[in-house]
Structure 1
Amino acid sequence: MTQKLLLMAAGGTGGHMFPAQALAEEMLRRGWRVKLSTDARGARYTGGFPHMTEITQVSSGTFARGGLLAKALVAPKIAGGVASMAMAMRRDRPDVVIGFGGYPSIPALGAATLLGLPRMLHEQNGVLGRVNQLFATRVHHVACGVWPTELPEGANGIHVGNPVRAAVRERAAAAYIPPGDYPMSVLVMGGSQGARILSDVVPGAIAALPPEIRGHLRVSHQARDEDSARVSEFYAAQGITADVQPFFHDVPARMSEAQLVISRAGASSVADISVIGRPSILIPLAAAIRDEQTANARGLVEAGAAVLIPESALDTASLSEQIASVLSQAQGATQMAHAALDAGVPNATDRLVALVEHLAEEETE
């Protein structure tokens, strides 16, 4: 029996790539071949993908950046990408094509649409991204990470949740140690776009905590390269133990040890927080065009698992007050951790796999 082939297409952010990685891990385990089509930015996130994943870089472009000339060259670039992808698909026909969003997914989805191949989307956020918006009514299914997701009329949306990587699943529902008068951990995550304001506000908010809380804290703080020296120096000057890095390769381990997570509300971060089950303070990215991060946070906030602070209301005093509120109430923090677990979808990968396999079977019937 011939091996089935899944072609995944994803743009160059962790939000798109982490769910793709989770799906690749499981489809390979089930005996499928898996190809990933991405761009140079996306290739930076492929280190964690199983080595059997066949990775190709594609030609695509975005109308969102650059001057008039750059924008004028985008359409021919995308058309070239679609044409070359269609030729590749004729040579090695995928059983299913799935797009995870981002401009680099256009060539694969465009070619699959032209050739009439089984195709679907996975949308991580509560609001469709531009590319997924474009293809939502041209695919068989839109697998939604957040529910409800705003969908155009005619799109077939199915709630599957956001798949998390194997390293996160291994820490699912890790025992929560409530805050107390012993060493406590706080994990601060800003994401690739939104780390600057957290680096500006969080250290001061932690320094302003009552001494009986601050004296027990260890902080893991994700900060951009250009901010990490000043953030480290500030924590050191305040006598706060802190590990400041631009990227943590062991986020699941740090999160499972944390009493509190302070984070942007990116889809992958929210999924990790809910699967591991931790209290959180979420600060949606104000620059997000569709305000998708507020939509992402809604489930945890409504469940009583997270405190939401809009970026416009974020300052040292208000954040310090919220941190103190969580870390001074062991029972309340434990309830938040349990509520996060209840809001999570730990089997999101299995649900997405079932959808992929069902789509492949429908095609062969």
Structure 2
Amino acid sequence: MSGKRALIAAGGTGGHMFPAQALAELLLAEGWQVTLSTDERGARYAGTFPPEVVRQVVPSATTARGGIAGKLAAPFRIAAGVLAARRAFVRQRPDVVIGFGGYPTIPALAAARLMGLPRMIHEQNGVMGRVNRLFAPRVHRVACGTWPTDLPAGVSGTHTGNPVRAAVLAQAGAPYAVPGDGPLRLLVIGGSQGARVLSRVVPAAIALLPDDLRTRLLVSHQARPEDADSVTAAYAAAGIEADVQPFFTDVPERIAAAHLVVSRSGASSLADITVIGRPSILIPFAAATGDHQTANAQALAETGAAHVHPESVLDATSLARDIRAILTDPARAAAMAAAALDLARPDAARRLYDLVEEIAR
């Protein structure tokens, strides 16, 4: 048992929280004590963290949203968060602070800098987020999930890959059953934001597929609650058996069972898809900061692991064409699955852990 303490700070989206959870799981296994620092929104995403992880909710805010009043109040909330984090660190000093991005990481990283604590960040995407870009020159290590990553001038990074949770590792490299004459499983996952276009276009694309293909489809579709009824109705009109939910708690198992995944290209989603090894059609979120989802998808597109559809030209006809091309060509589907697996970094959490150990010394 190491007896060391790690403070993990992460923003309130799955893209930040899933790799943070993966590192937390490994730290606990290595005998560390782990605290998760986040804001009230992030705390709602922390339910799948191991119960041994202490939750610490600190005030934070973003200057990018919330209107004039929100923008004016944000610096004061952030300052309050920094003071709260500093008081917590005085009571129980962490050996290392690791930030995973998002505005809720500002208090912990700022307090760690003020106190001279060992600190590092992990950037999941090919283009750094605002907060990580701010702190990159002010930490001891910068770990990168996607390579290459656009880093600030004078900052060097270490390519660790994006850590995946234990539930994903349990499915790592699961044998791929190529599409044949039986049922065909399609998984549609949209991430925590921007999934509305998938709810509109994917059912329309599937309705255009030939009868012999369409009637064999079993679809799992993650849709916003406000879109669930219309998506369910669209599939029913096309004669499709579909499981439509706002959130799947068993995404790794569904990826492993899928013949094809249609997804946004968030970093955590791509890490899951590559570690398990499945063909995919990726639709980068057009409004993502710095167009980072397109950067995330680049390696999969270049190696033939995925077809990438820019949202600006996405339509039902082209999407139906690609779905049909993959599901009717077992050799192509198998090659895409193998190419995805070649890009996987199932040891990303271990690589990140080694950096944590290094700076904690």
What is the one-letter code of the residue matched to 2:301? V
Q: Residue 228 of structure 2 corresponds to which residue in structure 1?
A: 228
Question: 1:173 corresponds to which residue?
Answer: 173
Partner residue in 1 for 2:70: 70
Give the match for residue 120 of structure 2: 120
Equivalent position SS for 1:153: coil
> How many residues are treated as equivalent by the alignment?
361
Instruction: Give the Cα–Cα distance (whole angstroms) in 2 for the partners of residues 2 and 166 of structure 1.
Output: 21
- Determine if the alignment matches structure 1 residue 237 to structure 2 residue 237: yes
Deviation at 1:67, TM superposition (A): 2.2
Task: Tell whether the 8 Å contact from 1:141 to 1:155 is kept in structure 2 after alignment.
Answer: no
The answer as to whether partners of 1:146 and 1:296 remain within 8 angstroms in 2 is yes
Q: After superposition, what is the alpha-carbon deviation per residue over 1:210-265, rounded to whole angstroms, capped at 9, x for unaligned? A: 12211211000011111111111111122111000000000001110000000000
> Which whole-Å deviations, capped at 9, do the CAs of 1:64-88 have from their partners, x for residues lacking one?
1122222111112111111121121
What residue ranges of structure 2 are gaps of 5+ in the alignment?
A: none
Call closer, same or farther: CA 1:329–1:2 in 2, change over 3 Å. closer
SS in 1 for 2:162: coil
Q: 1:43 is aligned with what amino acid? A: A
Q: 1: CA distance between counterparts of 2:131 and 2:287?
A: 18
Equivalent residue number for residue 252 of structure 1: 252
The 5 Å alignment of 1:299-338 reads 299-338=299-338
- Match of 2:200, SS state, is helix
Structure 2 SS opposite 1:192 = coil
In structure 2, the residue matched to 1:269 is 269
Scaled by the length of structure 2, the TM-score of the pair is 0.99
Q: CA deviation at 1:266?
A: 0.4
Cα deviation 1:300-335 (Å, max 9, x = unaligned): 111110000000110000000010010010001000
Whether 1:15 and 2:5 are equivalent positions in the alignment is no
Q: Which shifted more, 321-330 or 147-156?
A: 147-156
Instruction: Tell me how far 1:2 sits from its aligned partner.
Output: 7.0
Q: Which residue of 1 aligns with 2:295?
A: 295
Aligned to 1:352: 352
Equivalent residue number for residue 107 of structure 2: 107
2:144 maps to 1:144: yes
- How far did 1:192 drift? 1.5
Cα distance in 2 for residues equivalent to 1:140 and 1:49? 26
* Percent of paired sites with the same residue: 62
Letter in 2 for 1:216: R
CA RMSD of aligned residues (A): 0.9
Contact 1:16 1:101 in 2 (8 A): yes
Q: Aligned partners of 1:160, 1:226: CA distance in 2, in Å? A: 37
Q: Which moved more, 1:75-84 or 1:262-271?
A: 75-84
TM-score, normalising length: structure 1: 0.97
> 8 Å contact 2:123–2:143 — kept in the other structure?
yes
Gaps of 5+ in 1: none
Aligned to 1:97: 97
Query: Contact (CA 8 Å) 2:306, 2:336: kept in 1 or not?
Result: yes
Does the residue aligned with 1:180 lie in a helix, a strand or coil?
A: coil
Aligned-partner Cα distance in 2 for 1:156–1:53: 30
Structure 1 residues 107-139: Cα deviation after superposition (integer angstroms, max 9, x where no partner): 000000111110000000001000001000000
